[in-house]
Structure 1
Amino acid sequence: MTKPFRRPLAVLAALMLMWLGFAAPAQAQLAPFTQAVAEAAASDEVIASYYRDRSYSTLFTGPQDEVRRHALLSALALAGTHGLPVQRYDAAALTAAYRAALTEGDRGRLEVRMTKALLDYARDLQTGALVPSEIDPGIKREVPVHDRHANLVAFETGNPVAFLRGLAPTATAYPQLMKAKLDLEAQIASGGWGAAVPSGALKPGQDGPAVVALRDRLIRMGYLHRTATAIYDADMQKAVQAFQLAHGLTADGVAGTGTIEQINIGPEARWQSVVVAMERERWMNIDRGHRHIWVNLTDFTAKIIDDGKVTFTSRSVIGKNAADRRSPEFSDMMEFMVINPSWSVPRSITTREYLPMMQRNPNAAGHLKLIDRAGRVVSRASVDFTRYTAANFPFAMRQAPSSGNALGLVKFMFPNPYNIYLHDTPSKSLFANEVRDFSHGCIRLGSPFDFAYALLARQTDDPKGLFEQHLNGGGESRLDLAAPVPVHLVYFTAFPGAKGQMNYRRDVYGRDALIFDALSEAGVVLGGVQG
């Protein structure tokens, strides 16, 4: 008969203690806080379960939580230095809410707000504020999302300051980009790089107002020491060459129209490139491999990186800037190379390019064989091409191995859903162009044999001999890499050089513009200052 009275007696005892001036039991005090936390976290199961498992003990708003609270608010206050949307976390609003909290309900709701801010900040800094695939269909990048519950536990149980500092990408380029961002913001605040240089070409030996404008802008940009010369002298020529090298231009020291166009791009536009590059670095906050292949589409190069150092570089040709031909961005593992490859023409190219040609002239593209569904070669004379459309064309096309094969004499394979690979090409003249977007999407290499030797040097004392053994056989052959190599197809229009100096490239596909628009919509602003 005593059980029904236990709960009322406990309540009466608590009320008696309060009436006598004693503190109420902890459970009675925490009830409104617990209820507020449970209600505020109801829509987020990770946060809700986290607090349930901890019996609703505080992480930020208790008197013992000062270190964690201060660490979070300090980090959020500096979120703008990372080019993040600071309003998403709003340290100032959280600070004001903490000072204004009057009730346990206020404190419970603030507790959940701060936890959400922590998780949002951790996600954005670890893996980016945007979802790449939502920006452009050519960005196939898989973002390495971190476990939210694990982040909460790591923050609670470890050093909160160290945890927050460790969220940013570990790539050496990231702090260099952050410094470039801050430097550009300072330059913008102090008036930028001065007046634009009048359009037209300028050459060594010239003088006049346009040369003075060029001189002044190069000085403001840091490429030329202070000088009063009004002549396009040797020092100015060297400065122009340095600028050209840092911007992917032909480094002839002549300020032609293309160079002047790039010189006249202001610090605000360069700032946007840097902010986007920081977001891209967050998307790639992964182990890239002690040895990896780095194909920067905007730089038109393919590089082998060994322990952070470039050990091989080749010029490249990337996909044409057209809807169905742009090279995608993704990472994979290069597993083997095919020497003396045949070319199986992709169906999109067969039906869009070659079928109309053969409808006009059945013998067009005679270097390609017509293949039926059984794999047999079909005589073109037996086919009425006018009967078919892109939807019902029943044949494939293939080019036999040869030096004139569209893939050249070697292709480098990292099997992927997009049918993208690196390869040789008979069209060598294209590598002399400054802007090299000509392919159907795959990456053509200017020095494919040397690239092969560099890859094979890890598994044989005679890489050239091993390669030529396969090459001289004449037929198609596969040569596996003893250790697969990570390959990263990336798109950075801003990146630090070997000595930390910033490099900039053209936004060939317009992807960076889309990313910056999305970042701006999310709340990223110049200097990280909110209006």
Structure 2
Amino acid sequence: MPAAVSSFAHRASFRRLAAPFLLALLLGQVALSPAAARESDSQPSLPFSQSLAAALSQDELVAAWYQARDYRPLWTGASDTARRSALLAALELAPDHGLPVARYDLAGLRRALGAVRTEGDVGRIEARLTRAYLDWAGDLSSGLLTPSEIDSTIVREISRKDPLLLLRAMEQGDPEQVLRDLLPRSDIYAQLMRAKFELEEIAATQGWGPAVPGDTLKPGDQGERFLALRNRLIAMGYLAPTATAVYDRAVQSAVMSFQRAHGLPADGVAGGDTIAEINKSPQDRIRSVLVAMERERWMDIDRSGRMIWVNLPDFTTEIVDDGRVTFRTRTVIGREDMERRTPEFSDMMNHMVVNPSWGVPRSIIVGEYLPLLQRNPNALSHMQVVDRNGRVLSRGSVNFSAYTARSFPFGMRQPPGDSNALGKVKFMFPNKYNIYLHDTPSKNLFAHDKRAYSHGCIRLADPFDFAHALFRTQAPEIEREFNSTLKGGKETPVKLEVKVPIHIVYFTAYPEGKGRIGYRRDVYGRDARLWSALEAAGVVAAPVSH
């Protein structure tokens, strides 16, 4: 169990998580009826075995496991009380984790346990408890959803636990510890859960007050619209309680703090985008947190040591060392249309290329460049046309009009240079999506707060500084060596002696400094699709009281 979760359990704000579990352990042990109690752990009765086998007939793997152990019970035997009670208590926590209560049918399980009359009934409830346990274990440890089924650009590989290993762990281990070990191992998950509880408390009362009407408010403004802004900032914790009737420096500072926490330009003016974010309800934020918790359940990663963290809706790339951000730069990500969106996945960065050439992706060649070349063979003069062996061809030797997008047999490459689309350096983690980090000559795009302009790759605002930070541990003179290689102008790969994990993620709600959750806009609409899928699966956000 993560240290943060362990300490969090002792805090008052975490009582809602711990209390149902402890109460069930102390008081909630479910006793089977006398008819069920006759069933023996060592030699199950034929009615028990037959009903269990029938109930598991659609699950060959689990059925084979029970068959191999002569249908001995895991949950309903005379010595299984602690195991059964621990599971039922854990299932009570489904709402706290943003998981669907109905999926595990805790109420139905309790009713069935209380209504057992025959050993056949016991066999059937044994199967139901096993199914509930495996569903719970899988959902909590690796997520309820299969992300690629919801959005094809979420290509993260999910590590699913082996059902047989889960059953063996419960059979052989301490049931409480086995269930605790299913929790996501990062402190991030505990912080998101705490934020969920806090937002639910706010939603259950008066929220953050009336929304702010209109578009823009700026320093010096007064009136009802300003008072709505002031009161909402106070309710959200960005402004100390005040009776000021004018948009003064304190309010301006509060607006700037809010803007920084929501990825907006921190200019202190409550413009349209800022007002829109201020007017988000606790309910809206709960949904963002629930989606973030699901995403965190997918992230079975080791956060110790060094990693590269690219959060797409934050438009940033970070180097993180043992949980501490040691370098941060702005990024440009893929455009918002489906074909250009940057996918989410994890990989290992293994080298950089100084003075890179750009091998133009096939989709760009036939979709954008071929039509230009068919109209004018001398277009795109900065690009080389190459054959399958990489040999440069003269433009006059190619009849571009003779080919279609499907039949065009050539590639295109832009040699190293000041105008190269990849700039002066690219950072490689070879992957089938052809995504990498790179420099760019289009520096003006980094001035925008919403930076979705690329064909899918990730452009860095400070690529040289990123290279220095990334390679400094293996090459203390990296700046001098890097600058020397740059001046040479030759395409040069530089290997990382120790590969660095890179995680391209999409969190619109994520813990930031001082325990506050930062929120970002759903630039690709992925969170909206994930929430719809969670809601369809039975996940609910706490209703707002009126």
TM-score (norm 2): 0.90
2:338 to 315, 318, 323: 323
Distance in 2, Cα, partners of 1:156 & 1:393: 61
Name which of structure 1's ranges 191-200 and 139-148 shifts more when overlaid on structure 2.
Answer: 191-200
Please state if 1:251 is matched with 2:253.
no
User: Per-residue deviation at 1:350?
Assistant: 1.1
Whether 1:524 aligns to 2:542 is: no
Instruction: Give a deviation string over 1:47-95, Cα, whole Å, max 9, x none.
Output: 2233223332222223322211111111101111111112111211111
Cα separation, 2, equivalents of 1:73 and 1:186: 26
Query: How far off its partner does 1:470 sit?
Result: 2.0
Secondary structure, counterpart of 2:79 in structure 1:
helix
Residue 437 of structure 1 pairs with residue 452 of structure 2: yes
Structure 2 counterparts to residues 15-414 of structure 1, below 5 A: 30-288=45-303, 290-414=305-429
Bigger shift: 314-323 or 40-49? 40-49
2:501 is the counterpart of 1:486: yes
CA contact (8 A) 2:42 2:72 kept: no
Asked if 1:477 corresponds to 2:492, the answer is yes
Name which one, 1 or 2, has greater alpha-carbon Rg: 1
Deviates more, 1:334-343 or 1:38-47: 38-47
* 2:434 alignment partner in structure 1: 419
Q: Partners of 1:361 and 1:25 in 2: how far apart?
A: 85
Equivalent residue number for residue 19 of structure 1: none
Over 3 Å counting, the alpha-carbon distance change for 1:198 and 1:27 in structure 2 is closer
Structure 2 regions of 5+ residues with no counterpart?
1-37
**How far is 1:373 from its partner?**
3.3
- Once residues 159 and 169 of structure 1 are traced to their aligned partners in structure 2, the CA distance between those partners, rounded to angstroms, is 19
**Taking structure 1 as reference, are residues 413 and 27 closer, same or farther at Cα in structure 2, changes over 3 Å only?**
closer
Rate the CA distance shift 1:103–1:439 in 2: closer, same or farther, 3 A.
Answer: same
User: Which TM-score applies when normalising by structure 1?
Assistant: 0.92
Contact kept? 2:387, 2:393, Cα under 8 Å = yes
Instruction: Kindly provide the CA deviation profile for residues 291-318 of structure 1, in whole angstroms up to 9, marking residues without a partner as x.
Output: 1100000100000111011011010000
Task: Indicate if the aligned counterparts of 2:509 and 2:517 stay in contact, CA closer than 8 A.
Answer: yes
Rounded Cα–Cα distance in structure 2 between residues aligned with 1:410 and 1:238:
38
Q: Supply the distance in 1 between the matched residues of 2:298 and 2:388 (Cα, whole angstroms).
A: 42
Q: CA deviation at 1:158?
A: 1.5
Contact 1:292 1:487 in 2 (8 A): yes
Alignment check: 8 A CA contact 1:85 1:528 kept: no
Structure 1 range deviating more: 382-391 or 414-423: 382-391
Q: Distance in 1 between matches of 2:40 and 2:356?
A: 79
* SS of the residue 2:243 aligns to: coil
Aligned residues: 507
Confirm or deny: 8 A CA contact 1:334 1:413 kept in the other structure.
Answer: yes
Structure 1 residues 388 and 24 mapped into 2: Cα distance closer, same or farther (>3 Å)? closer
- C-alpha contact 1:73 1:91 (8 A) present in aligned 2: yes
Instruction: Between 312-321 and 348-357, report the one with greater CA deviation.
Output: 348-357
Is the CA contact (8 Å cut-off) linking 1:292 and 1:306 kept in structure 2?
Answer: yes
Following superposition, the deviation at residue 289 of structure 1 comes to: 5.1
Query: 1:349, CA displacement in angstroms?
Result: 0.6
Deviation at 1:191, TM superposition (A): 2.8
| Cα displacement (A) at 1:394 | 2.6
Give the whole-Å Cα distance in 1 for the aligned partners of 2:422 and 2:445. Answer: 14
Q: Is the Cα–Cα contact under 8 Å of residues 200 and 257 in structure 1 kept in the other structure?
A: yes
The alpha-carbon deviation at position 383 of structure 1 amounts to 3.6
Q: Distance in 1 between matches of 2:281 and 2:398?
A: 58
The residue type equivalent to 2:530 in the other structure is I
Structure 2 letter corresponding to 1:503: G
Question: Given that residues 148 and 155 in structure 2 are in contact (C-alpha distance below 8 angstroms), is that contact kept between their aligned partners in structure 1?
Answer: yes
Conservation of the 8 A alpha-carbon contact between 2:283 and 2:542: no
SS at match of 2:496: strand
* Contact 2:143 2:295 survives alignment (8 Å): yes
Letter paired with 1:319: G
User: Could you say which residue in structure 2 is the equivalent of 1:454?
Assistant: 469
Match of 1:231, as an amino acid? V
Residues 102-138 of structure 1: per-residue CA shift (max 9 Å, x gap): 1111111001100110010000000000111111110
The alpha carbon displacement at 1:28 in A equals 8.4
Q: Distance in 2 between matches of 1:169 and 1:528?
A: 26
Distance 1:522 1:24, change over 3 A: closer
What amino acid is the match of 2:454? Answer: S
For 1:435 and 1:445, the matched residues in 2 are separated by 14
Q: CA deviation at 1:481?
A: 0.3
Is the partner of 1:526 in helix, strand or coil? coil
1:254 partner amino acid: V
> What is the SS of the residue equivalent to 2:302?
coil
Within the alignment, does 1:466 sit opposite 2:481 as a pair?
A: yes
Conservation of the 8 A alpha-carbon contact between 1:144 and 1:286: no
Q: Is the deviation greater in 278-287 or in 38-47?
A: 38-47
Q: How far apart are 1:354 and its partner, in Å? A: 1.3
Q: Is the 8 A contact 2:184 2:296 kept in 1?
A: yes
Structure 1 CA distance, aligned partners of 2:523 and 2:130?
A: 40
Name which of structure 1's ranges 95-104 and 391-400 shifts more when overlaid on structure 2.
391-400
Structure 1 residue 525, shift from structure 2 partner = 0.9
Percent of matched pairs sharing the same residue = 57
1:288 Cα deviation after fit: 4.5
Q: Say whether the 8 Å CA contact 2:43–2:72 is kept in structure 1.
A: no
C-alpha distance after superposition, 1:315-374 (max 9, x if no partner): 000000112110011111000000000011111111111122222332222111122334
Q: Determine if contact 1:339/1:478 at 8 Å carries over to the other structure.
A: yes
The superposition leaves residues 397-443 of structure 1 with CA deviations (integer Å, 9 ceiling, x where unpaired) of 11110121000000000000011000000001101100000000000
What is the CA–CA distance in structure 1 between the aligned matches of 2:472 and 2:39, rounded to whole Å? 75
Which residue number in structure 1 is paired with residue 32 of structure 2? none
Aligned counterpart, 2:25: none
Residue type at the aligned position of 2:49: T
Deviation larger for 443-452 or 228-237: 228-237
Secondary structure of the residue aligned to 1:438 is strand
CA contact (8 A) 1:83 1:524 kept: yes
Q: Structure 2 vs 1, CA of residues 215 and 27 (structure 1 numbering), >3 Å: closer, same or farther?
A: closer
